[in-house]
């Protein structure tokens, strides 16, 4: 999970940079097309059939819907808001995932974990500061994107176990390409000719994204959701570091306080989950 989060932070940095030169819809389409090609090759090498009836199950269809909104709104947040802010808001995902796992997958959640979830969400509200004068409605893009990723992760867990990470990756990036096409039609901006520097940035983002996606699917499908999801907080450390060092973003006291609360709550949930598991 930690390796996945580092890869996603690197992916975010390249995508944020390339959206300065290319329309968001075009970026999503090209990124999605590249990703599905990579996973198609991985599936062929592993001798896995991509087109099979189980990809049309209810869990996979819901997964695609959540993937659509998660990918679209989060890349809009990355493009239009500070990377550190978008990454911080994304850290509410573990709390919603544990909550969703309790409601939909019947995983047990004790009273202390419920309290930690509430504290973690309070930390996110400190970061958002909805009552502050400098609150930006653009921050809600990251909130919608986060909820999309939460649904995707939950339905990845509920997907038929015979669907491998190659199949999930292929359809995940296919959904991303469709999301880009839909947004491009709605946005109406003309596509821009790709320069060599932009091609390299997209390629680097793709490599990081494919690695992160694969690692995430392995973590979510093989480990207890309550145990692995708290380690998503590491993306906050990676994202803020890149935001400050690369994009020269400024951090204030509420942002740092909110991040500390989120990380603390996430670590506590992970610790609680590990205590409940029998010794390996």
175-198 pLDDT per residue, tens = 999 999 999 999 888 998 888 999
Average pLDDT rounded to a whole number, residues 116-128: 84
Residue written as token pair 């998503």: 232
230-275 pLDDT per residue, tens = 677 788 888 888 988 888 888 888 888 988 888 888 778 777 766 6
CA-to-CA distance for 200 and 21, rounded, in angstroms? 13
141-174 pLDDT per residue, tens = 888 998 998 888 888 877 787 888 788 889 989 9
Read off the tokens for 164: 């491998």
The residue ranges of every structural domain in the chain are 2-276
Q: Residue 191 in 3-state DSSP?
A: coil
pLDDT at residue 10 tops 90:
yes
Q: What is the pTM of this model?
A: 0.82
Sign of the CA dihedral running 140, 146, 148, 151:
negative
CA-to-CA distance for 223 and 207, rounded, in angstroms? 24
pLDDT of residue 164: 82
Phi, psi (rounded to 5 degrees) for 92: -75, -15
């Amino acid at each position: 999970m930690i390796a996945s989060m580092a890869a996603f932070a690197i992916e975010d940095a390249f995508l944020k940079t390339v959206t300065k030169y290319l329309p968001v819809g075009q970026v999503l389409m090209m990124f999605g097309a590249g990703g599905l090609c990579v996973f198609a090759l991985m599936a062929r090498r592993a001798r896995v059939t991509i087109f099979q009836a189980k990809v049309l199950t209810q869990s996979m269809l819901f997964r695609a819907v959540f993937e659509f909104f998660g990918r679209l709104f989060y890349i809009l947040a990355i493009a239009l808001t500070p990377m550190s802010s978008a990454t911080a808001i994304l850290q509410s995902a573990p709390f919603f995932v544990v909550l969703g796992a309790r409601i939909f997958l019947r995983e047990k959640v004790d009273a202390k974990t419920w309290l930690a979830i509430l504290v973690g969400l309070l930390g996110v509200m400190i970061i958002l500061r909805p009552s502050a004068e400098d609150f930006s409605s653009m921050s809600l893009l990251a909130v919608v994107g986060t909820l999309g990723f939460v649904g995707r992760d939950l339905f990845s867990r509920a997907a038929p176990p015979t669907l491998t990470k190659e199949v999930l990756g292929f359809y995940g990036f296919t959904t991303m390409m469709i999301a880009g096409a839909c947004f491009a039609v709605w946005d109406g901006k003309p596509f821009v000719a790709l320069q060599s520097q932009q091609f390299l940035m997209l390629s680097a983002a793709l490599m990081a994204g494919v690695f992160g996606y694969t690692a995430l699917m392995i973590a979510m499908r093989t480990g207890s959701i309550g145990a692995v999801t708290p380690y998503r907080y590491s993306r906050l450390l990676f994202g803020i570091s890149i935001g400050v060092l690369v994009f020269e973003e400024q951090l204030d006291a509420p942002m740092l306080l909110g991040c500390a609360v989120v990380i603390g709550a996430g670590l506590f949930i992970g610790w609680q989950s590990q205590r409940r598991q029998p010794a390996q």
